Structure formats: structure tokens, C-alpha cells
Amino acid sequence: MIHVKKAFVIGYPIKHSRSPLMHGHWLKEHGIAGSYEPIEVSPEALPGFLDRIRSGEFVGGNVTVPHKEDAWKLVDFRDVDTDHLKAFNTLSQLATADGIAIYGQNTDLYGFLANLDQQAPGWDAGIDNAIVLGAGGAARAVAAALALRVSGSVRVLNRTADRAGALAADMPGRLEGHGLDSFASLAPDTRFVVNTTTIGMHGTRFDDLPLHLLPRDALVTDIVYVPLVTPLLADARALGLRTVDGLGMLLHQAVPGFEAWFGVRPEVTPELRAKIEATL
Ligand code: NAP
């Protein structure tokens, strides 16, 4: 009898997730007898659901809004490199002497960097300072990723400046917290800008973001990928700045989970990207 390995993506709601399409593509590509199903789980039901990994029913799965922070609290073992993000999106089985335990990690940090490395190889050479727009959940992973790669300051700018300050204080090092209105004064010596706010979704745009003050060789990226070319990216392109869209982050963050559950490291190919892009 073939043993079918089962994985999941849980959220509340979950029906708009593109993860089943991505993992289904890789399962088929590698001829793996496995499954990856979207399951709606309410916050109250989360602890009980996670026991289905410990019982061996699931090899693991992805966790999305609103469960990432609770997943970080509820796992048995935490990935040392992403523990400080206090939010996990990828869970897998860990065999211990006492039975199956749950291992948690945050793969958004990896996905953010892998997308840039694929779309703009060498992007981090010569980048000193970086601006992160936003200080929400995704901003934590992005700011931590940039702190690994840029040589100068990671400037977190948020509508609610206190929240940017709190994020910077939580991850001491080269992070600084500012209000969004500091963009004009910080832009002239910043060669990298990333949007992690929800602005851009449904074509929304920042009220006043003077991109023309950035150096001409600056790179602008967005982690919002619906639409693929957000107004921020369109404005940056119009000024002749380099841009990278956010769809690749979604694709790459899925790689470590698939490898942990099914034993094969999958590739983010143009074919996979086109398949997901067609659903946007
Ligand atoms: P979140 O925790 O709710 O944070 C939202 C952020 O947006 C906060 O910084 C908030 O500022 C800011 N914001 C919201 N409305 C604003 C407005 N009108 N003006 C200025 N700032 C505003 O959300 P999240 O989980 O970090 O997700 C943020 C975005 O990233 C979402 O669109 C999500 O889909 C996307 N994302 C993409 C990927 C990917 O793989 N590409 C991965 C993760 C997330 P305040 O603090 O002032 O409220």
C-alpha cells in the first residue's frame, strides 16, 4: 500500500490561498504520492488541530492569517534563525524519543531574499541603507532579512511611528524606527525601498512618497503582488528606477516547507510563476 503524506494550509478564512496550486504543481512534477489541502481552522480550534501533526496524520503544513503568532507559541521546537520574528508560517514533524513533535519556522525571511536573488542577482552589492515601509507582521521578516544583507541602516517607516520604533527596539542592531513623513529626508542616501504595508492592494497608493529623491540606481520592491505591478512599482519604473515585484516571495517561501514534508527541494520555475500569475 502506498503511504500518502498529507500536508495542509490553515487560515481563517482560507479559500483565497494560492498555496494548494503551488504545492499541487510540485507534487505532480515530482510524481509524489502526497496531498496538500486548504483547511479552515478557527483560532479556538488551532491547538486541537495542531495535535493532528503530533498524532502523525499530517507531516506538516503552512499557517496563514490569523494564526502565525499563535503557531509560534504552540510549537514544540523553534527554528533558531527565525524565532525572534515571533510568528511562524511553516510547521513540520520532528521525531523525538517521546514521539512526534512540531517544529516551527518562518520562511517569509527566506522567501523575500530568494526572490530578490532570483529576479535581481547581486542586488545587495553596494547597498548601504534600506527603507522598509510598514511595521506589521510581514515587515518584521523583511527588516530582519535586510539586516542580514545591507551594510548600513534598515530604516523602518510606518504610518504609526511608535509601531516602527517598537519593531526596531525588538530587533536591536541596525534597525531604526521613523514615521512615514521621514521618507523625504532619508531617501537621498537610500538605495533600497520595500513596501510591506497593505497599500498597493486594489491599486491604492501612498499619498505623498517622493520617490524622485532616491538615488538613480535605487531598487524598489513591493511584497504586495495583487496587482503584480502596484502603483508604487509603476511610479518607480516611470522614474527609471529598478523594480522587483512581490510574487516571487510567495513562491519561494513555499520551498522549505515542501522539502521538509516531501523530501524533495522544489524549484521556482517560470512555468510555476506563470501558473500562479494567471490567477491574480
Ligand atoms: P499587517 O500586519 O496588518 O500590517 C499592515 C501594515 O500596513 C502596517 O504597517 C500598517 O500601518 C500599514 N497600513 C495599513 N493601511 C495603511 C494606510 N492607509 N496608510 C499607511 N499605512 C497603512 O499586515 P502584514 O501581514 O504585514 O501584510 C502586509 C501586506 O504584505 C499584505 O498585503 C500581505 O498580503 C502582504 N504579504 C505578502 C507576502 C508575499 O509572500 N509576497 C508575504 C506576507 C505578506 P499601521 O501600523 O499604522 O496601521
Name 111's Cβ contacts closer than 8 Å, sequence gap at least 6.
248, 249, 250, 251, 252, 253, 254, 255
Domain range for 228: 109-246
Average pLDDT estimate for 79-86: 95
pLDDT of residue 126: 85
Element (H, E) at 46: helix 46-54
CB 36 within 8 A of CB 7: yes
**Is ligand 1 within 6 A of the CB of residue 137?**
yes
Q: In ligand 1, which atom is closest to the CA atom of 253?
A: 40
Specify the ligand 1 atom closest to the Cα of 133. 9
Cα-based distances in Å from 115 to 105, 200, 273: 18, 19, 12
- Whether the pLDDT of residue 270 is over 70: the answer is yes
- Looking at residue 222, its amino acid is D
pLDDT in tens, 211-243: 999 999 999 999 999 999 999 999 999 999 999
Is 275 among the residues known to form the active site?
no
Could you give the number of structural domains in the chain? 2
- Mean pLDDT, all residues of the chain: 96
pLDDT digits (tens, 9 = 90+) for 134-173: 999 899 999 999 999 999 999 999 999 999 999 999 987 8
Instruction: Output the residue whose Cα is nearest ligand 1's atom 19.
Output: 159
The model's pLDDT over 17-69, given as tens digits with 9 standing for 90+, comes to 999 999 999 999 999 999 999 999 999 999 999 999 999 999 999 999 999 99
Q: Express each pLDDT in 163-208 by its tens digit.
A: 999 999 998 789 999 999 999 999 999 999 999 999 999 889 999 9
Euclidean distance between CA atoms 139 and 196, whole angstroms: 6
CA–CA separation, 142 vs 195, rounded Å? 10
Whether residue 2 is predicted with pLDDT greater than 70 in this model: the reply is no
* One domain for residues 258 and 181: no
Same domain, 115 and 232: yes
* DSSP designation for 132: E
Average pLDDT of the segment spanning 247-272: 98
* Ligand 1 center–CA 199 separation, angstroms: 7
Same domain assignment for residues 236 and 197: yes
Average pLDDT over residues 248-276: 98
Residue 164 CA to ligand 1 centre (angstroms): 12
Is 155 in contact with 144 (CB distance < 8 Å)? no
Residues 240, 264 share a domain: no
Distance CA(237)–CA(239), nearest Å, equals 5
Q: Are residues 29 and 152 in the same domain?
A: no
Judge if 16 and 90 occupy the same domain.
yes
| Ligand 1 atom 44 nearest Cα | 138
